[in-house]
Amino acid sequence: MGQILNWKGKLIAPGALRLGHGEARAQLVRATIASGRVPRAAKRVADLCLPHFEHEEKAVFPILGLLPYLERGELRPEMMDVVPLVADFREKHETLNAHHHLILAAIEELLQAAHREKNREFAEFAYNMRVHERIEDEVIYPSVILIGNYLQEHLGN
């Protein structure tokens, strides 16, 4: 994809999203080694979120990596290379939504465990994870579909 690729030949994912996942991973590690009820609940969140993060980083973040170019009006035929990722995302969207419900339930368990333990750090983390999931549902995922539609409309045959 010419100039829109990084040195490894992959689209550059938005840095804020990568940082968000990195911070969540670090907090999950800290939570799983805490004391009390928090580690068990954190392990359940980790078991659900870590594979979910990996999937998003491979299948969603590359699509969002096009946003700076599209915002500047830069359209290139090679951008259509992400259309199969968008199609795959559309096919798995309902499954992702169901998975989000499981993740949110696990986050709620973590939040409750943190409150019972009066652990403000992990209560705030659980709250932030709930916000993260809502951002995905309300902003990230619709943006992926919008990008796919835009590319099909402007570059598709």
DSSP 84-109: HHHHHHHHHHHHHHHHHHHHHHHHHH
**Residue 53 forms part of a structural domain:** yes
Please indicate, yes or no, if residue 65 is contained in any of the structural domains: yes
- Overall number of domains in the chain: 1
CA proximity to 96, closest of 44, 146, 66, 140:
140
Does residue 52 lie in a domain region?
yes
Retrieve residue 135's tokens: 């951002």
Residue 102: domain span: 36-69+80-155
% the chain with pLDDT above 90: 80
Domain for residue 26, yes or no? no
Q: How far apart are CA 96 and CA 117, in angstroms?
A: 31
Residue-wise pLDDT tens digits, 65-74: 999 999 999 9
In this predicted model, what pLDDT tens digit does every residue of 79-128 receive, in sequence order? 998 999 999 999 998 888 899 999 999 999 999 999 999 999 999 999 99
Closest CA to 46 of 1, 88, 106: 106
Q: Considering the domain boundaries, does residue 30 fall inside one?
A: no
In a domain, residue 147? The reply is: yes
60 Cβ neighbours under 8 A, 6+ residues apart: 85, 89, 140, 141, 144
In a domain, 58, yes or no: yes
